[in-house]
Amino acid sequence: MENIKQIMNLFDSAEKWSAYIELSNYREDLVKYLKSSLCNEIQVLANSKLQDTGWIFEYDRNKLSLNMYPNESRLIAVSIEWEWWNRSDSPWHRRGVGIWVYASETDSRKVYEKMKELSHTLPLNGYEDNLENHTWYPFVRQIPASVFGVTDNVVSVEECLYMASFNPKQLALNIWHNVFEPFATKECSELFASVVK
């Protein structure tokens, strides 16, 4: 309650309160704009960097789901599902990237075990086992705050998207280098496709 009182003290005039309400009404549109800018930049990067690697990059602008699939299979991906970041029931996925497995169509446990066997050849450093939390995400890791130009306690999608407001190319490049580039080889694509067969 004390925090609310302190916040309300910021609005010491009707004009300031009205400005706050007006900006609040644009929140969703602003976030959509930032998502769109970021998705466009990452798609441009993916189009140039994934040629002849055996990978496909796709995004869902509404959910801000960024996925890199092997050409040979849509059953596994390197995935940022930002819709999960703000959910209270998925603390394991805050500011996270995961290895996504289509658990309805394949056996997640077998995929997990095969990937563990291949961990010396796959760039899974920093990824944690997560199969017990969510069968669709057997491996997850938190993306470093520096990728988004924020402090380590920032985990919300909206705060992490701030860099997209003034430098979407740099944010896309940061995400690309940290999340997708380590996997963007023909060998990794083939290994990913092989574990879901």
Q: What is the pLDDT of residues 92-150, one digit of tens each?
A: 778 899 999 999 999 999 999 999 999 999 999 999 999 998 999 999 999 999 999 99
Q: Are 181 and 123 in contact (CB under 8 A)?
A: no
Q: Which residues are CB-contacts of 142 (< 8 A; sequence separation ≥ 6)?
A: 94, 95, 96
**What letter does residue 106 receive in the DSSP assignment?**
S
pTM > 0.85: yes or no: yes
The pair of structure tokens assigned to 56 is: 């496909």
